[in-house]
Structure 1
Amino acid sequence: MAENIVWHDHKVTRAERASIKNQKPCLLWFTGLSGSGKSTIANALDVALYQRGYHTFLLDGDNVRHGLCRDLGFSDEDRVENIRRIGEISKLFADAGLIVLSAFISPFASDRRMVRNLFPEGEFIEVYLDTPLETCEARDPKGLYEKARQGEIRHFTGIDSPYEAPSHPEVRLDTSVMSVDACVESLITYMVFRELITR
């Protein structure tokens, strides 16, 4: 860490930024294999929350790698750094009073725990897209599984790189048997139950 850096407190507090938006900041962290439905469900929830008048921001794995994390590859070390950066960015958005949706494979439990520890109790919601590998591979929306099976892509999660499934996620969804609308309704219901939104 660089020396001679001092934290500067803001005049407007985190609570005040959230209060003016009439909402409670939090992070919904969508994790799961490629093709499990993370981006699709996160996008659909983003629209549903926006239509209800909530202030949100969506962070997507591919989009972030076009800018903030374009210098990173897919080695284990780069994946850790990718998630660390996303965790810190998510925290800043939450500090601004937003409901943050982050859709990343984030295969390692330690990385997800690292992000959870950045947030106050109850503000990190792990959403596990528990969709079977066979379903994800059959979908293969970007053709990545085929390339991984042919050896054209190395360190591909679920093929030659492990995915450590969450043991106790706040929400578990399986898009092989649940529609997008059903998944969004489950998430809205959970957020209402936790008093993060009021419907």
Structure 2
Amino acid sequence: MATNITWHPSLSHSERSTLRNQPGFTIWFTGLSASGKSTIATALEQHLLRHYHMAAYRLDGDNIRFGLNRDLGFSEADRNENIRRIAEVARLFADSCTVAITSFISPYRRDREAARALHEAKGQPLRFVEVWVDISVEEAEKRDPKGLYKKAREGVIMEFTGVSAPYEEPESAEIHIRSAEESVEESVRRIVAYLEGEGLVRVVA
């Protein structure tokens, strides 16, 4: 770790929030592969942009794994580092008063707790909203749009969450969605209702 670095103060988060007329926070989607995380996250991003005119940006495997984290594999250590980097990037987005929407399996409870702690530390705490998109492995396998569960069962993928690697369920997620029972539209409505109730979004007049 570098020691010859100095932190340069800038605008406070409250000053940025006032100037941009919106708060910054992170919505952290977690759940099994094929649970519907990215579909709901995409719909939520569009909803916030179109109906609330909020700056929002979604982080997922497409724009992280093919860029910033392209040097990481899928071992437990690499998955931990993947989530650590994502949490750091999400916090930067949130600190800039953008709504960061992350959509990753993030299977380990300690990694998600570390992401939350990162947002709540450093003197200017930022809101962190965990959304657990809950689905059974059996139902996720029925969907399996990329054929990943099939490859995992055949041994082509050696470490796969829900098959050969664990998924540690959230213990206190702010929002719990059962995607086999709720539509994408219903899920987005529930998330937005929570955000409105917390004063994080407001209807544009």
TM-score range with shorter-chain normalisation? over 0.9
Residues 36-60 of structure 1 show CA distances to partners (whole Å, capped at 9, x for unaligned) of 0110000000000001211111101
Measured after TM superposition, the shift of residue 153 of structure 1 is 0.2
Show the counterpart of 2:87: 87
Q: Which residue of 2 aligns with 1:102?
A: 102
Match of 2:135 in 1: 131
Q: Which residue of 2 aligns with 1:153?
A: 157
Residue 33 of structure 1 aligns with which residue?
32
Aligned amino acid, residue 79 of structure 2: R
Q: Give runs of aligned pairs for residues 1-199 of structure 1, distance below 5 A.
A: 1-10=1-10, 12-51=11-50, 52-120=52-120, 123-199=127-203
Deviation at 1:68, TM superposition (A): 0.4
CA distance in 2: counterparts of 1:180 and 1:9, whole angstroms: 41
Q: Which SS does the other structure have where 2:131 is aligned?
A: strand
Q: Over aligned residue pairs, what C-alpha RMSD do you find?
A: 1.1
Query: How far has the Cα of 1:7 moved from its partner?
Result: 1.2
CA–CA distance in 2 between the matches of 1:27 and 1:123? 6
The runs of 5 or more residues in structure 1 that have no matched partner are none
- Deviations 1:168-187, CA, capped at 9 Å, x for gaps: 10000011010000000000
SS of the aligned residue for 2:162 comes to coil
Percent identical: 46
TM-score when scaled to structure 1? Answer: 0.96
State the distance in 2 between where 1:20 and 1:148 align.
49
- Structure 1 residues 115 and 93: CA distance shift in structure 2, 3 A: same
SS in 2 for 1:65: helix
CA distance in 1, matches of 2:198, 2:188: 15
* Offset at residue 143 of structure 1 (A): 0.6
* Cα distance in 2 for residues equivalent to 1:81 and 1:115: 11
For residues 197 and 117 of structure 1, the distance between their equivalents in structure 2, rounded to whole angstroms, comes to: 22
CA distance in 2 between counterparts of 1:131 and 1:198 reads 30
8 Å CA contact 1:15–1:97 kept in 2: the answer is no
Q: Secondary structure at the match of 1:20?
A: helix
Question: In 2, distance between residues paired with 1:20 and 1:100?
Answer: 18
Q: Find the residue that maps to 2:85 and give its secondary structure.
A: helix
Alpha-carbon offset, residue 97 of structure 1: 0.7
Amino acid at match of 2:60: D
Size of the alignment, in residue pairs?
Answer: 198
* 1:2 Cα offset (Å): 1.1
Name the TM-score, length of structure 2 as normaliser: 0.94
Distance 2:187 2:127 in 1: 20
